Amino acid sequence: MKTDKNIDSMLDASDVRLLAAMQADAKATHHVLGERVHLSASQISRRVQRLEQAGLIRRYVALLDPASIGLGVRAITYVTLTRHGDEGSVFEQAVADVDAVLECYSIAGDADYVLQIVATNLQALSEQVFKRLIRIQGVANIRSNIMLACIKSTTALPLGHLA
């Protein structure tokens, strides 16, 4: 990935508008994106290819509504290990295989990792996820917060600093 200074020098205002438009609707055709950012479809095509090659656009995905597909329970879970070092890599490899874990971050603070987890219900969360996580070698403690309501959820990154 490029440094911030390199990114700033490679992006112009049209690139920033294009990235914003793609974050809003990555399925939009180059023609539609061109209308939104005031460029031709061929210019959009070249810019998208350049942004992909530079690593600014990593991939394209369909964002599903978890509740609509039966995943109505979400938890933010904090995991503390007994020791650091090899146990961290063991935990990271094991948690990568848990489909219900959407995100896992190594953090500084009271815990070693924070995870975002989805499940069909509280029983499934407890039985299929927490019991599996606590069995991973080196896990000392798991503490979770169940999400009651989603106030804001977005995948769109802020781009104002690039303009």
49: buried, middle or exposed (CB in 10 Å: 19+, 13-18, 0-12)?
A: exposed
For the segment 40-66, what is each residue's pLDDT rounded down to a tens digit?
A: 999 999 999 999 999 999 999 999 999
Candidates 2.40.40.20, 3.40.50.720, 3.40.1080.10, 3.30.70.920; CATH matching 67-146: 3.30.70.920
- Rounded CA-CA distance 153/147 in Å is 12
**pTM (predicted TM-score):** 0.85
What CATH number is given for 4-62 in this structure? 1.10.10.10
**pLDDT per residue as tens digits for the range 110-142:** 999 999 999 999 999 999 889 999 999 999 999
Domain(s) of CATH 1.10.10.10: residues in the chain: 4-62
